[in-house]
C-alpha cells in the first residue's frame, strides 16, 4: 500500500511538472526586421537620423538599424529604451514620468540597462508582451516614440 501511495505521489508530481511547462509567443526575426525598417522609414520621412533596436521577450536584440548620419550614442540609447519598455511592460516615457513624479520610483533610473527617456514601446500579441522597440536620435523622445508607434501600427504582430 505504501509503495502505491509513493508511486501515485511521484506520478502526480511528474504531471505537475509537465503542467508547469510554458507556451509563449515570441517575436520572429522577420517581424523584428520589419519593425526596425518601418521605424527607420517613419523617422527618415521626418528628417530624423536615428537608431532602432528591437528586442525579443527575453530582452535579447533581434534587429538593429542605424541611419547613415545618426550619432553613435543613438545605438545604445535605442537598445536601453527597448529594454526599459520590455522590462516594465510599459512605454519608457511613462516609466520616466513615474520616476519623476513618484518618490518611491525615483531609483528606477539606477536600474542597470534602463534609460528613462521616451522612445521605447512594448510589443504585444494580444495582452502578452513579446518584445519591445526603442528609437534614439530624433530631436525629442516623444518624436522617437511617435516613429515607434507608427512602425507598430504598420507591422502585424
Q: Is residue 94 part of a domain?
A: yes
Q: Is residue 8 part of a domain?
A: no
Position 10 scores a pLDDT of 55
Position 105 scores a pLDDT of 87
- The domain in which residue 89 lies consists of 29-154
Q: Is residue 34 part of a domain?
A: yes
Q: What is the count of structural domains for the chain?
A: 1
**Residue 108 banded pLDDT, cuts 50, 70, 90:** confident
The residues with which 65 forms a beta bridge, in sequence order, are: 52
Q: Is residue 5 part of a domain?
A: no
Instruction: Note the helical H segments in 28-155.
Output: 29-44, 73-88, 92-101, 141-154
Position 50 scores a pLDDT of 98
Judge whether residue 87 has pLDDT over 70. yes
Q: Is residue 108 part of a domain?
A: yes
Judge whether residue 110 has pLDDT over 60. yes
Position 31 scores a pLDDT of 97
The residues with which 132 forms a beta bridge, in sequence order, are: 55, 122
DSSP class of residue 103 equals G
> Rounded to whole angstroms, how far apart are CA atoms 117 and 93?
5
> Rounded to whole angstroms, how far apart are CA atoms 99 and 106?
4
Q: Give the pLDDT confidence of 49-81 residue by residue, as tens digits.
A: 999 999 999 999 999 999 999 999 999 999 999
Neighbours of 140 (CB within 10 A): 12
> CATH number of the domain that 86 lies in?
3.30.450.150
**Residue 157 banded pLDDT, cuts 50, 70, 90:** confident
Amino acid at each position: 500500500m505504501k509503495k502505491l501511495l509513493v508511486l501515485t505521489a511521484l506520478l502526480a508530481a511528474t504531471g505537475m511538472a509537465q503542467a508547469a511547462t510554458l507556451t509563449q509567443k515570441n517575436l520572429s526575426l522577420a517581424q523584428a526586421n520589419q519593425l526596425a525598417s518601418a521605424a527607420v522609414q517613419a523617422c527618415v520621412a521626418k528628417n530624423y537620423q536615428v537608431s532602432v533596436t528591437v528586442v525579443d521577450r527575453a530582452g535579447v536584440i533581434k534587429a538593429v538599424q542605424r541611419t547613415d548620419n545618426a550619432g553613435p550614442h543613438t545605438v545604445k540609447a535605442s537598445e536601453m529604451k527597448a529594454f526599459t519598455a520590455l522590462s516594465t511592460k510599459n512605454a519608457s516615457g511613462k516609466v520616466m514620468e513615474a520616476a519623476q513624479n513618484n518618490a518611491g520610483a525615483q531609483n528606477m533610473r539606477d536600474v542597470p540597462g534602463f534609460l528613462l527617456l521616451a522612445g521605447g514601446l512594448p510589443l504585444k500579441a494580444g495582452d502578452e508582451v513579446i518584445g519591445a522597440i526603442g528609437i534614439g536620435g530624433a530631436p525629442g523622445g516623444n518624436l522617437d516614440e511617435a516613429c515607434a508607434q507608427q512602425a507598430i501600427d504598420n507591422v502585424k504582430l
